Amino acid sequence: MKKVIYLALTVLIVACGNGTEKKTDNKEVKPKDEVQSKNESSWEVVQIKDEFGDIVEGKSTISAIFKGTMTNSAVADAELTVRMQLQDSIIYSNFYEYNREPQAQLPKSKYLTIKVKVANGEVLEAKQFLYQNMMVDLDKELLNILLNQNQPVKVIADISQVDKYSNDIYKFEIDPNGIKEAIK
């Protein structure tokens, strides 16, 4: 009798389980904010505003926002937003942990070597300067890598290299698509 009940329950569970599966036509559907056209650039020219919020004539900067993850002693793979600004051929990067203000507190006046993995799998290094809670590409090493790529690159910035009390590791991708055109 017990075998009959187990058999009946098993058939019922399997039948209900198959009926609740969502059927698709094998096409991967991405959320609207993840969809980016091949021709769409992450890099855009933005007008500079003065302290009153008015646009300053003839002054602009190039900016882009990228997503990634951050890990430290308290959390693994938390959301990260990286805001990059390109001005006078120097990239300034601001990190926003958990995708919100304020920007991450970085060590002051230290050089950090970041790892950059390009599309062919090669891992390059780029020296960056940490200044006023920004990562600054003073030697234009990151910019030169981006200008020579046409596919997104993966970046790891391990802050523990320069601060023994920090476990912060930032991982993100930078899409170089459109950066050359924005510079012109």
Report the helix count and the strand count for the chain, using DSSP H and E: 3, 9
Distance CA 181, CA 178 (A): 5
Q: What is the pTM of this model?
A: 0.75
Q: Which residue has the tokens 């951050």?
A: 70
Tell me, what's the pLDDT at 58?
A: 86
Tens digits of per-residue pLDDT, 86-132?
999 999 999 999 999 999 999 999 999 999 999 999 999 999 999 99
Distance CA 173, CA 166 (A): 22
Kind and range of the H or E run holding 149: none
**Residue 65, phi then psi, degrees to nearest 5:** -125, 130
* 55-71/78-87 β-pairing: antiparallel
Cβ atoms 47, 58 nearer than 8 A: no
Half-sphere exposure of 159 (CA within 13 A, CB side): 24
Is the pLDDT at 22 greater than 60? The verdict is no
Residue 140: burial class (beta carbons within 10 Å; 0-12, 13-18, 19+): middle
